[in-house]
Each structure stands twice: as C-alpha cells, then as structure tokens.
Amino acid sequence: MSIDDIDRTQTTHILEREHEVLQPHMESNTSLVARTLDRPSQGFLARLFPDEVDEIVQTHELAQLQTGFEYRRRALQMAVETKLQAVEEMCNHVLVTGKSEIRRKRQEFFAEQKLKLQESMNAYAERFHTDMERRFDAMAAMRHERIREREEQRLLRAVDEFHDMLDQLGREFLDIIREGVSRG
C-alpha cells in the first residue's frame, strides 16, 4: 500500500463521517487530487509556474486539506467536550453520593446528641422535681403564712425558670442543628 492509498483511505474515512452538504465538494476535490497524483511527475518549471489547471488543482487540494483540518478540529472538540461532560457527570455523582453519606452521618450524630440531651434533661428534671416536692412539703409545714406565701412564690418562680431554661436549651440545640455554614 502506497502513501497515496493511505491518503485516499483517510480521505474516504473522513468523507463517510462528514456532513452531507460538504460531501459533493469533497468528492470533487478528491477526484481532482487523485487525477493530479496519477499524472506523471511534473518538471521543476511546471511546479514553479503552474498552468491554469494545476492552479485549480492546487486550490482544490488546499480547500480539501482545510476541510479535513476543520473536520478534525470539530471532531477533536466534540471528543474533548464529551470527555469533559463525562468527568463532570462523574464528579457530580461523587458529590451527590458523598453529600448523602455526610448528611446521613450528620443526621445520625445529631439524633444521637438530641437523645443524649433529652435523657440528660429528663434526669435533671426528675432530680429538680424531687427536690421541689420535698421543698413544697416542707413549706406546707411552715407556721407563718407570710413566710409560706413568699416561699411558695419563690418555689413557683424556680419551677417556671427551670422549665423555661429546659425549653430554651432544646430550642438552642435545634437552632445549632439548623445552622448552615456560610462565608458571610
């Protein structure tokens, strides 16, 4: 197989994939190039000073080369864009699966922490209520009404403050969970 045959094979391969609008122009150029290559070698002067037919053939050869280069450039661009899209899709997949794993772990962590907080708050509330029951019982045994009234107000205020504090701790914990990370 000669270089001419290889060139024709590559040209045919390009023609098979080229858009139909360019096909007739490229076939015309291919036939002109083939005729030129089949002609006996030209002399030195004929190459330096080509006649009208040779100039047309050279013009067509140049146009065919430009068309081939343009085709290759577009094919390469399509290949690069396809690879970039594949890489982008792969990265998106990794991000999505990675994010979902991180979110799952985060949710498990916060659920565990919320459970610990709730258990801890329940234990403190039970201790507090036990202590308050004892104090209310002791208050009922007080003989002076004014002291009993003041102690009752103080104990009721302590109960309200304690439960308000537990509610606030629960809200603040949920606010921490809802917080996002931002650059602002």
Structure confidence by residue, pLDDT tens digits, 59-103: 887 888 788 788 888 888 998 899 999 999 988 888 888 888 888
Where does 2-144 have alpha helices with state H?
3-17, 23-38, 44-48, 52-140
pLDDT band at 28 (very low <50, low <70, confident <90, very high): low
By CB neighbour count within 10 A (0-12 exposed, 13-18 middle, 19+ buried), where does 24 fall? exposed
Per-residue pLDDT at 56 exceeds 80: yes
Sign for the CA dihedral angle at 151, 156, 160, 166 comes to positive
Domain of residue 114 covers 106-178
Q: What is the largest CA-CA distance in the chain?
A: 137
How confident is the prediction for the chain on average, in pLDDT?
79
Residue 27 burial (CB count, 10 A): 14
pTM, two decimals, is 0.46
Query: What total number of domains does the chain contain?
Result: 2
Q: Is residue 183 part of a domain?
A: no
Nearest-angstrom CA–CA distance, 172 and 125? 18
Query: Residue 174: is its pLDDT beyond 90?
Result: no
Q: Quick one: 77 and 10 in the same domain?
A: yes
* pLDDT tens for each residue of 39-52: 555 666 666 777 88
Last residue within a domain, chosen from 59, 92, 125? 92
Q: What is the rounded CA–CA span in Å between residue 44 and residue 63?
A: 24
Structure tokens at 19: 């858009």
Report pLDDT for 63. 85
